[in-house]
Structure 1
Amino acid sequence: MRLILVGPPGAGKGTQAAHLVAKYAIPQLSTGDMLRAAVAAQTPVGVKAKEVMDAGGLVSDEIVVGIIRDRIAEEDARNGFILDGFPRTLAQAEALDEMLEANSLKLNAVIELRVDQSKLVDRIIKRAADAQAAGQPVRKDDDPEVFKQRLEAYNRDTAVVVPYYEKTGLLSVIDGMQSIDEVTASIDSVLQGLDEKV
C-alpha cells in the first residue's frame, strides 16, 4: 500500500499516519520528521534545512527529493509506505511519479484531509499547550506566527498537488474536521476498496 496524505499543517496527517502504520505494517515517511532528525544529527542536509525551518520556510525540492529517494529504497518500505508532508509542490509530485515509475511502482491512493483553516490556529495553540502540559518540548512550528507562515506556504505551493492527483483519479477527500476516530473510519473505508498493488 503506497499512500500520500495531503492537508495543511495541523490537519491531523501525523495522527492518521500512525494508525495506518499499525494497520498495514508500512513506514510513515514524514519529511518533517526526517528533516528534524537530520537537524538533530547536524548532518549537512540538517544544517542547511535548520535555517529555513526556523524561519518557517520550506526546504528546497532537491533536499527533500533526495531524502525520499533514499528512504523508499530501504527494506521496510518494500511493501509500501505513507508519505506525509511530501510532495509539497507540483515539481515534487512530478519527481515522485518519475521516481516510482523508474522502480516499477505506483501509488494506491492520495488522501486529502480537508479542514476549516480558520480553526487550525486554535488547534495548533492547543497542541502546543498539550505538549507543555505533558512536559514535552513544543515544536518550533507550533508557534502561531510560524504556523501562519507555514499555512500561507501550504496554500501557495502545496494546495496545487490536490488538483494534480484529482486528475489521476487517485484523490479521495476526507473531512478532517471530524473527530479523530471518524477521520480514521473514513480513511479505512476508502482504502478497503483498493486492491494492494505490488
Structure 2
Amino acid sequence: MRLVLLGPPGAGKGTQAARLATELDVPAISTGDIFRANVSEGTELGRTAQSYMDEGEYVPDEVTNAMVRERLMAEDATDGFLLDGYPRTPAQVEELDRMLAAAGAELDAVVQLTVDTEEVVKRLAQRASEQHRSDDGEEVQRHRLEVYEKQTAPLVDLYDRRGKLCAVDGLGKVPEVTGRILAVLGRG
C-alpha cells in the first residue's frame, strides 16, 4: 500500500504513521524525522533545514524532493510506504507523481486527519514542552498553521478530485483514530 498522510502540524500524523506502518507492514517515511536527524548530526542539509524550521517555514522543494526520491528508492519501500509530511505543495505532488510513474506505481490513498485548530495549538504546545522542540514555540505554531493553510490545504482538493482522499477525524484516543483510518482503507 502506498499512502500519504495529510493534516496540519500537531494533527497526529507522526503517531498514526508509526502505528499504520506496523499494521500495514510498510515503512513510515517522515520528512520531519529526516530533517531532525540531519540537524542532530550537524550536516549541511541539517543546518539549512534548521533555519527554515525555526521560522516555521517549509524546507525548499528541491532539497525535500531529492531526499524523498532517494528514500523511495530504498528496498524496503519498493512494495509500499506511508509518507508523513510529503507532499506539502502542488509542485511536490507533481514530483511525487513523476517518482511513482517512473516506478510504475501510484498512490492507493491519501488520508487527511481533520482536527480542531485550538486542539492543534494545544497539542503543539504540549509537544514543545515535552520534547524541547525549537520549532514548536507559540508564534511559530500559529505561523506553521497559516503556512499549512496556504500551501498544503489545496492538496486536499487536488486529491479529492482524483478520488484518492479519505478524511478521518483525528480527535480521540490514538487506537480509535488508527481504527478509523484502517476502516476507510478497507483494512479495519
TM range (shorter): over 0.9
Task: Return the offset for 1:171.
Answer: 0.4
> Could you tell me how far apart the structure 2 residues matched to 1:193 and 1:40 are?
36
Residue 121 of structure 1 aligns with which residue? 121
Counterpart residue identity of residue 139, structure 2: E
TM-score with structure 1 setting the length: 0.90
TM-score with structure 2 setting the length: 0.94
In structure 2, the CA distance between the partners of 1:66 and 1:100, relative to structure 1 (3 Å rule), is same
Q: Do structure 1's residue 20 and structure 2's residue 14 form an aligned pair?
A: no
Q: Do structure 1's residue 8 and structure 2's residue 2 form an aligned pair?
A: no
Counterpart residue identity of residue 127, structure 1: R
Residue 55 of structure 2 aligns with which residue? 55
Residue 86 of structure 1 aligns with which residue? 86
> Could you tell me how far apart the structure 2 residues matched to 1:103 and 1:65 are?
16
> Could you tell me how far apart the structure 1 residues matched to 2:124 and 2:63 are?
27
Match among 139, 145, 150 for residue 133 of structure 2: 139
> Could you tell me how far apart the structure 2 residues matched to 1:89 and 1:121 are?
22
Counterpart residue identity of residue 20, structure 1: L
Q: Do structure 1's residue 152 and structure 2's residue 146 form an aligned pair?
A: yes
Q: What's the C-alpha RMSD, in Å, of the aligned pairs?
A: 1.5
* More displaced 10-residue stretch of structure 1: 139-148 or 28-37: 139-148
> Could you tell me how far apart the structure 1 residues matched to 2:126 and 2:50 are?
25
Counterpart residue identity of residue 4, structure 2: I
1:117-171, CA deviations, whole angstroms, 9 ceiling, x for partnerless residues?
A: 1221112222334x2xxxxx42222212111111111011000111010011010
Q: Secondary structure at the match of 2:112?
A: strand
Counterpart residue identity of residue 63, structure 2: I
Q: How does 1:155-170 map to 2 (within 5 A)?
A: 155-170=149-164
1:63-88, CA deviations, whole angstroms, 9 ceiling, x for partnerless residues?
A: 10000000000011112111001111
> Could you tell me how far apart the structure 1 residues matched to 2:78 and 2:165 are?
23
> Could you tell me how far apart the structure 2 residues matched to 1:19 and 1:193 are?
13
> Could you tell me how far apart the structure 2 residues matched to 1:105 and 1:92 are?
16
> Could you tell me how far apart the structure 2 residues matched to 1:139 and 1:84 are?
18
Identity %: 47
Q: Secondary structure at the match of 2:69?
A: helix
Q: Secondary structure at the match of 2:39?
A: helix
Q: Secondary structure at the match of 1:105?
A: coil
Q: How does 1:31-42 map to 2 (within 5 A)?
A: 31-42=31-42
**Structure 2 unaligned blocks of 5 or more:** none
Task: Return the offset for 1:193.
Answer: 5.9
Residue 134 of structure 1 aligns with which residue? none
> Could you tell me how far apart the structure 2 residues matched to 1:27 and 1:187 are?
17
User: How many aligned residue pairs are there?
Assistant: 188
